[in-house]
Structure 1
Amino acid sequence: MTVAAPPALDERIATPGILTRLVVRPEIGALIGAIVVFVFFSVTTDQFLSASGAATWLDDASTLGIMAVAVALLMIGGEFDLSAGVMTASTALVTAIFATKLGWNVWLALLVSLVFALAVGGFNGWLVMKTGLPSFIVTLGTFLALQGLNLGVTKLVTGTVQVSGMRSTDGYSSAGSLFASTVDIGGTAFQVSILWWIAAAAVGAFVLLRTRFGNWIFAVGGSAVSSRAVGVPVMKTKILLFMTTAFAGWLVGSINILRFASVQANQGIGLEFQYIIAAVIGGCLLTGGFGSAVGAAIGALIFGMARQGIVFARWDSDWFMLFLGVMLLAAVLVNNAFRRKAERVRR
């Protein structure tokens, strides 16, 4: 008597293994890279693993990480913002000028700079959607305009390229405790910006994976035309993403001006590429529609560990640029491989 073979399990309802589920996650490559960098510098220098050493490289990564998360959301949505770096200086300058030169309370000055940031971000998004121009071009124009505005207004108001004197302003103490204080852990001071970085990553991940707006971000990054056809508000989504990047710029600018109590007019120039690189290392594709907020935060962590690890090892800091280039190329190759694997699993 022949025993019938059990029916084959339909692959469409089969539960993928844990390894398969890990591989399709955009941030897995960045996590592996972070572990490798951590182990490498832990072995090569004793200071790296000390409490003060950890506080240093976490601090280095924190403000970069805040911006990288916002930039990652925008890149997943299919756009770029080259004005993100200079926005951190612009908002800090607005806060400092209103507080030190006009005598406003720091909290009110922070509110004005926030409105300024959101207005610029909203304008960037609106212009990209209305004109159909690449966001690379539009935000490059914004970058140049803000750079000139920073220098021109700062020289006009102060006669120099720097605004200082924040510590003597009204409301500085309370604002500084929120944005620029330290948290003592085991006798070592850790900057509160690290907590802001963790919060940004957590909020970004929740929005992407647990909200309708997160679905819209992936949809418009994959195909704006198809998204519009199924009712996704493409213009609203992209404008909000540009405003999110501007908000992150305001947050980092606020942290910097309250921590250092002064700001240079040319501050932040060139950092926009570091934000993009951190997002790419963290799993974002340059073509949009794929990426991770947590991965971008890990990408920033790799930055912080590598930059400070090189200092601790007493190497020439120029080696960091070599590391950055290698990491970027490796990340692009790994991200493309993971995306193809994810597409095969989801079919």
Structure 2
Amino acid sequence: MTATSPARTTPATPQRGSGPDERLARRGPLGRLLLRPELGALLGALLVFTFFSAVTGQFLSPLGAATWLDDSATLGIVAVAVALLMIGGEFDLSAGVMTASTALVTALLSVELGWNVWLALLVALAFALGVGALNGWLVMRTGLPSFIVTLGSFLALQGLNLGVTRAVTGSVQVSGMRSTPGFESAGYVFASTIDIGGTSFQISLVWWVVATVLASLVLMRTRGGNWIFAVGGSALSARQVGVPVERTKIVLFMTTAAAAWLVGTINILRFTTVQANQGVGLEFQYIIAAVIGGCLMTGGYGSAVGAAIGALIFGMARQGIVFAQWNSDWFMAFLGVMLLSAVLVNNTFRRRAERVRR
């Protein structure tokens, strides 16, 4: 006599295609909001804006707003480019000193050799793009971390700035741009002001908005944007599916250098003088602005708009501290707190975004 064991029932496994594809599911406003890397930066910007608006009345005055917006703009132009590079998985520590290098090239060619400013600007741009391409090529060919490669570029550029300027002018600065040919037209494009309601706003704000919009369109609407996210997430996997990893990263380094050239151009045409040691330390502010804006240090995640908002937080805090007549040393403490807070918030929002995508 054979005993029969009771039949086991196993839960039915849902078959592929038996239900609606979760990728096509409609998400609510909160779900869509959690997918945005710049959410934390936006909340931080609202907090900083509200705080300094309450602390000092000068912050909300037209002149006060023009001041902190201008401060944010010159920082934000490069921060947006640095954000693209960080999403691509790399860093550029030479971006800060590059703003001085390109300004010095323009000033030396215009003031000392009598070149037209526009021609000098083109040569300075070519110089920046060349250094950016070299940085990217060295990172890809040697396999060294971009931190090390661009740190070497930072030191080399800083030495060249000081050595060449002192050798040519006998000092560590170049001035006299106002008397150079082409200064007026170039100054109109890069260093003029826009009058709004009786208050003058620097045209750097326009360049900041243009840079942010272009970077966002590239990231979200083009194949190149997909490549940037792919190489930042995993260069090996990206290469296996046909993404031109080397070309993408070299272009990103060149983009950062070009943004630094733009800021250097704005500075030399606005102030008509440049110091050889300018820009040192700005590279960390660009990176911090990008991190505050939602970029991860590990790459593959971030937002150009977020980096612009991170720069806005910088400008509001730096000028807000001045308006409140506090010791400027508090700004460095603010940077430290914002950086740590941004890293924690970014990781939290990223984990939530991954759950929403599932």
Normalised to the residue count of structure 1, the TM-score between the two structures is 0.97
Q: Which residue pairs with 1:255 in the alignment?
A: 266
Of the candidates 266, 286, 296, which is equivalent to residue 275 of structure 1? 286
In structure 2, C-alpha distance between the alignment counterparts of 1:264 and 1:138, rounded to whole Å: 25
In structure 2, C-alpha distance between the alignment counterparts of 1:202 and 1:10, rounded to whole Å: 32
In structure 2, C-alpha distance between the alignment counterparts of 1:147 and 1:323, rounded to whole Å: 27
Q: Which residue pairs with 2:15 in the alignment?
A: none
In structure 2, C-alpha distance between the alignment counterparts of 1:269 and 1:286, rounded to whole Å: 21
Of the candidates 342, 348, 354, which is equivalent to residue 337 of structure 1? 348
Aligned amino acid, residue 239 of structure 1: I
In structure 2, C-alpha distance between the alignment counterparts of 1:251 and 1:77, rounded to whole Å: 21
Q: Which residue pairs with 1:15 in the alignment?
A: 26
1:194-246, CA deviations, whole angstroms, 9 ceiling, x for partnerless residues?
Answer: 11011111111000000000000000000000000000000000000000000
In structure 1, C-alpha distance between the alignment counterparts of 2:53 and 2:65, rounded to whole Å: 11
Q: Which residue pairs with 1:160 in the alignment?
A: 171
Q: Does 1:61 align with 2:84?
A: no
Of the candidates 189, 193, 209, which is equivalent to residue 204 of structure 2? 193
In structure 2, C-alpha distance between the alignment counterparts of 1:149 and 1:343, rounded to whole Å: 46
Aligned amino acid, residue 295 of structure 1: G
TM-superposed CA distance for 1:9, in Å, is: 6.3
In structure 1, C-alpha distance between the alignment counterparts of 2:60 and 2:172, rounded to whole Å: 38
1:68-126, CA deviations, whole angstroms, 9 ceiling, x for partnerless residues?
Answer: 00000000000000000000000000000000000000000000000000000000000
Q: Which residue pairs with 1:4 in the alignment?
A: none
Aligned amino acid, residue 233 of structure 1: P
Aligned amino acid, residue 264 of structure 2: G
In structure 1, C-alpha distance between the alignment counterparts of 2:50 and 2:290, rounded to whole Å: 22
State the secondary structure of the residue aligned to 1:258.
Answer: helix
Aligned amino acid, residue 280 of structure 1: V
Of the candidates 153, 162, 165, which is equivalent to residue 151 of structure 1? 162
TM-superposed CA distance for 1:341, in Å, is: 1.4
The 1:139/1:10 distance shift into structure 2, 3 A limit, reads closer
1:304-329, CA deviations, whole angstroms, 9 ceiling, x for partnerless residues?
Answer: 00000011111111111111111000
In structure 1, C-alpha distance between the alignment counterparts of 2:276 and 2:332, rounded to whole Å: 25
Of the candidates 17, 21, 40, which is equivalent to residue 29 of structure 1? 40
Deviates more, 1:317-326 or 1:159-168: 317-326
In structure 2, C-alpha distance between the alignment counterparts of 1:46 and 1:135, rounded to whole Å: 44
TM-superposed CA distance for 1:14, in Å, is: 2.1
TM-superposed CA distance for 1:23, in Å, is: 1.2
Aligned amino acid, residue 75 of structure 2: L
State the secondary structure of the residue aligned to 1:97.
Answer: helix
Q: Which residue pairs with 2:297 in the alignment?
A: 286
Residues 194-343 of structure 1: matches in 2 within 5 Å?
194-343=205-354
Residues 69-148 of structure 1: matches in 2 within 5 Å?
69-148=80-159
Q: Which residue pairs with 2:8 in the alignment?
A: none
In structure 2, C-alpha distance between the alignment counterparts of 1:261 and 1:12, rounded to whole Å: 54
User: Which of structures 1 and 2 has the bigger CA Rg?
Assistant: 2
Q: Which residue pairs with 2:184 in the alignment?
A: 173
Please give the root-mean-square deviation of Cα atoms over the aligned residues, in Å.
1.1
In structure 2, C-alpha distance between the alignment counterparts of 1:46 and 1:8, rounded to whole Å: 58
- Structure 2: runs of 5 or more not aligned: 1-17
1:108-150, CA deviations, whole angstroms, 9 ceiling, x for partnerless residues?
Answer: 0000000000000000000000000000000000000000000
In structure 2, C-alpha distance between the alignment counterparts of 1:190 and 1:20, rounded to whole Å: 37
TM-superposed CA distance for 1:339, in Å, is: 1.3
In structure 1, C-alpha distance between the alignment counterparts of 2:155 and 2:319, rounded to whole Å: 30
Q: Which residue pairs with 1:49 in the alignment?
A: 60
1:222-280, CA deviations, whole angstroms, 9 ceiling, x for partnerless residues?
Answer: 00000000000000000000000000010000000000000000000010000000000
Matched length: 341
Q: Which residue pairs with 1:183 in the alignment?
A: 194
Aligned amino acid, residue 167 of structure 1: R
TM-superposed CA distance for 1:345, in Å, is: 1.9
TM-superposed CA distance for 1:293, in Å, is: 0.2
State the secondary structure of the residue aligned to 1:163.
Answer: strand
Structure 1 residue ranges (4+ consecutive) displaced by more than 4 angstroms after TM superposition: 7-12
